């Protein structure tokens, strides 16, 4: 049996003034990460129910081939890539991270 897929999720809280610039930067950032070994796909999600006058909430979900791919990313690439965003948007956002193991995946039957 193959190893389960891993979901690496970054939850973001942004000040409204940086949302457009952050989204533009994030598009390039996600593309760079998806070029790394083991990354299969990504989604950028907005959580409008939590939006306020002072806050916008987003999540980025990466699906990885296995835990080793995540560990390699965290060890070899994450510090540099995290520092890029921190330098550009210092004080205007916060982030937290979660790691999930995919236990089941379902798709509708077609035909």
Domains of the chain with bracketed CATH = 6-101 (3.30.70.100)
Report the distance separating Cα 85 and Cα 52, nearest Å: 22
Task: Tell me the mean pLDDT in the region 94-111.
Answer: 93
Question: Which residues fall within 8 angstroms of residue 26, CB to CB, at 6 or more apart?
Answer: 44, 60
pTM above 0.75, yes or no: yes
* CA 72 remoteness from chain centre: 16
Please tell me the predicted confidence (pLDDT) of residue 2.
79
Q: What percent of the chain has pLDDT over 70?
A: 99
Backbone angles phi, psi at 68, to 5 degrees: -60, -40
Please tell me the predicted confidence (pLDDT) of residue 102.
97
Mind listing the pLDDT tens digit for each residue in 37-75? 999 999 999 999 999 999 999 999 999 999 999 999 999
DSSP H/E element including 74:
helix 67-76
| Banded pLDDT at 6 (limits 50, 70, 90) | very high
Please tell me the predicted confidence (pLDDT) of residue 1.
57
> Are the beta carbons of 62 and 33 closer than 8 angstroms?
yes
Task: Tell me the mean pLDDT in the region 11-38.
Answer: 97
Q: What percent of the chain has pLDDT over 90?
A: 95
Report the distance separating Cα 15 and Cα 37, nearest Å: 32
């Amino acid at each position: 049996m193959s190893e389960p897929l891993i979901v690496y999720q970054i939850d973001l809280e942004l000040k409204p003034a940086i949302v457009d610039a952050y989204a533009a930067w994030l598009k390039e950032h996600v593309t760079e990460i998806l070029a790394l070994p083991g990354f299969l796909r990504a989604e950028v999600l907005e959580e409008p129910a939590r939006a306020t006058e002072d806050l916008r909430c987003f999540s980025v979900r990466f699906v990885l081939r296995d835990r080793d791919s995540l560990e390699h990313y965290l060890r070899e690439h994450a510090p540099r890539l995290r520092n890029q965003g921190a330098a550009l948007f210092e004080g205007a956002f916060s982030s937290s991270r979660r790691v999930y193991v995919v236990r089941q995946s379902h798709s509708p039957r077609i035909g």
